[in-house]
Structure 1
Amino acid sequence: MTIKKLLQKKAIVITMASLISLPAVATETIKAVVIDGYPAKSMWVDEFSNFFIPEVNERLAKTNNYKIDWQESYGGTIVKPKGVLDGIKLGLGDIGIVTTIFHNSKLPSQSLAGVTPFISADARVVAKAIDEITKEFPTMEKEFARQKQVYLATGVVLDTYQIFSKERIESIKDLEGSKVAGAGIILRYLDGIENAAGVRGGLTDFYNMVSTGLVDHAMLWPEAAETFKIAEVAPFMLKADFGAVNTKTVTTNSRFWKKLPSEVKQVIQEVAIEYRDHVANIAMNRAKKSLDAYIAAGGTVVTMSQEARKEWADSMPDLAAEWAEGLDKKGEPGTEMLRAYMAKLKAAGFTPTRDWTAGLK
């Protein structure tokens, strides 16, 4: 063997030895506390555990640069349903699902779908439209920023609100003088009904509120009615089809988000949008099944006539104009947001029972 070849062989051996001696790049572990006050059996919570988290893990595993140590706390372990917003703000949770319907004063722009009832009972269309509005106008993200949070994606977990009752009802006349359980802006749907009173509560409260006689009716959706066995206490459902409403938003604590590597941020943002569409699809897929389950459990469905729906819509105050004007006065583009949202739903093929832009100035 020539001296040249000996030197080449020696160089190769030295190079390989040095590569073998290099330490492997360690995967960085990031701890993330996930919170929601609702129980793990709630659809959106269950899907966060079984869709969102595995999807993030799988994508991070492709590079193996980072992995997340998820610590899930649901069902009041850290916060109650109404406490998620403050819990993430205070750092009790790093990421969570805020039920926005409880926070009309702090998150007024989140009521956009709620103030425009009787249009679309398609969770997928409403979720996409709300997220588009969020990107086109800064208002929603700014509201969460004031709560020390980063907005990731909206969540529409229901096809449409309905009325569940102890006794059969068919129109707003049957609701006169009664008490109705509900949450947030949805209770304003009762404002035009004589002596009807809204009583605030959450999904976990409705069963007892009806069974004890605190209320006569509850406003929720069939999938939730199945989950919380509402047919046992409210065996009549008025199919009013108020429409899908964005009631959930996935957010992260701002300080937690700022510390995350860019790769992790990108993955979480991508999966949040997919989670939005995934949950909306489940809401739609479960709608018929849940209605069948309600009937099988002893429930009776009463379909509201189109005339009665229009009567109800026209009886309401101009919720949308009030909402838009309230934001306009704060220097936010409320009127523009409302017009844009309505245009998106119309473009998707939905005809409003009431034109909520008619009262705009």
Structure 2
Amino acid sequence: MKFSKQLHIQGLGMAMAVLMSLPATATETIKAVVIDGYPAKSMWVHEFTNFFIPEVNERLAKTGNYDIKWQESYGGSIVKPKAVLEGIKLGLGDIGIVTTIFHSSKLPSQSLAAVTPFISDDARVVAKAIDEIAKEYPTMQKEFAKQKQVYLATGVVLNTYQLYSKKPVTTASDLKGSKVAGAGTNLRYLEGIGGVAGVRGGLTDFYNMLATGLVDHAMLWPEAAKTFKIAEVAPYMTQVNFGAVNTKTVTVNERFWKKLPDEVKTVLQEVAVEYRDHLANLAMDRAQESREAYVAAGGTIVSMTPEAQKEWADSMPNLAKELAETLDKSGEPGTEIIRAYIDKLSAQGAKPVRDWTVDLN
């Protein structure tokens, strides 16, 4: 009995020693599925893997309270590029990078930059202005809330849309009788030209659309043209400078968000803003490099004169006014939002080719 009692005491001592060596609180592991329909080589996806996720992990590791086990599903493994919004809504993914240009009817206020072309080709300025509008006015967040998701931040991954063609283009009238590929609102840039057919497509489709003759031109940006080897099928880039446009927004499934601890929510929100700025900086850094790569691949850059730019801008319908009126009618401060957004760009030195506010109420 005495020997048994000694073993019992020793056992208790060892157990206490083990317990004392453990951290005060165990780390809670959270599983998160990230989705995007675009391939991993796309800049914003690549940087989500190499910037966003490591930053979140590093900050959570400082307290050790939580750890996220990430499952990254890109390139159509769960959803196609146009289905990320619906995928997050249905819970097919917990976090997603929504390409907002595909959803102008469901996310109208996300088209702010798209409906005000020819103002700024500085991705950093546009990204910050859009995100500030989203924080200052609840309109954008309400739109995502209707889709059962929480808005984190809007990203700009291009410094400016340009026109890529099979033949040289110097003025808008050169497009008459041709077909132009675009995505979402930018197809409306063609409406005032006449004799031009806009063809909707996604970035991953443009190469084949040009190669097969389905279209003669495509509107995209230099970094994407480099990534998808557009010089092979469209050897002329017209430097139109439509401007930087926000196209990527990081959102979180609403049910998933509600279950997250406050510490994790704060980290995700903070890193999303840094990811926004990181993407914008990359877009600007890579713009010139991508132009050079396009030329090296056999492409030729054609300049458009300021007069030709103004002629094209003036031919467009006032898309900004249309958006303002749409939002105003729905009870949102559309006119105020348009003015506030353009004021933010102007305050940073942007000089609009066309004054989109002139016809606003």
The TM-score with structure 2 as length reference comes to 0.95
Partner of 1:204: 204
Partner of 1:163: 163
Partner of 1:37: 37
Q: Secondary structure at the match of 1:193?
A: coil
Partner of 2:259: 259
Amino acid at match of 2:219: M
Q: Cα distance 1:17–1:90, how it changes in 2: closer, same or farther (>3 A)? A: closer
Partner of 1:195: 195
Partner of 2:341: 341
Q: CA deviation at 1:195?
A: 1.0
Partner of 1:96: 96
Q: Secondary structure at the match of 1:302?
A: strand
Partner of 2:143: 143
Partner of 1:10: none
Q: Secondary structure at the match of 1:32?
A: strand
Among 18, 21, 29, the alignment partner of 2:19 is 21
Partner of 1:216: 216
Q: CA deviation at 1:194?
A: 1.2
Give distance in 2, aligned partners of 1:71 and 1:339: 41
Q: CA deviation at 1:259?
A: 0.3
Give distance in 2, aligned partners of 1:359 and 1:303: 30
Partner of 1:73: 73
Give distance in 1, aligned partners of 2:147 and 2:65: 31
1:1-361 aligned at under 5 Å gives the runs 21-22=19-20, 23-24=22-23, 25-361=25-361
Give distance in 2, aligned partners of 1:243 and 1:163: 12
Amino acid at match of 1:28: E
Amino acid at match of 2:74: Y
Q: CA deviation at 1:26?
A: 1.5
Q: Secondary structure at the match of 1:131?
A: helix
Give distance in 1, aligned partners of 2:88 and 2:333: 27
Give distance in 2, aligned partners of 1:87 and 1:16: 51
Q: Secondary structure at the match of 2:257?
A: helix
**Number of corresponding residues:** 348
The TM-score with structure 1 as length reference comes to 0.95
Give distance in 1, aligned partners of 2:272 and 2:30: 18
Q: Secondary structure at the match of 2:63?
A: coil
Q: Percent identity?
A: 75
Q: Deviations over 1:243-273 (max 9, x none)?
A: 0000010000000000000111111110000
> Structure 2: where are the runs of 5+ without partners?
1-11
Task: Give the root-mean-square deviation of aligned CA atoms.
Answer: 1.4
Give distance in 2, aligned partners of 1:186 and 1:139: 22
Q: Deviations over 1:23-75 (max 9, x none)?
A: 53211100000000000000000000000000000111111111000000000
Q: Cα distance 1:160–1:19, how it changes in 2: closer, same or farther (>3 A)? A: same
Q: CA deviation at 1:96?
A: 0.8
Q: CA deviation at 1:359?
A: 1.0
Give distance in 2, aligned partners of 1:27 and 1:69: 12
Q: Deviations over 1:68-102 (max 9, x none)?
A: 00000000000000000000000000001000000
Q: Secondary structure at the match of 2:71?
A: strand
Amino acid at match of 2:116: T
Q: CA deviation at 1:310?
A: 0.2
Q: CA deviation at 1:21?
A: 3.4
Amino acid at match of 1:237: M
Q: Secondary structure at the match of 1:163?
A: strand
Amino acid at match of 1:259: K
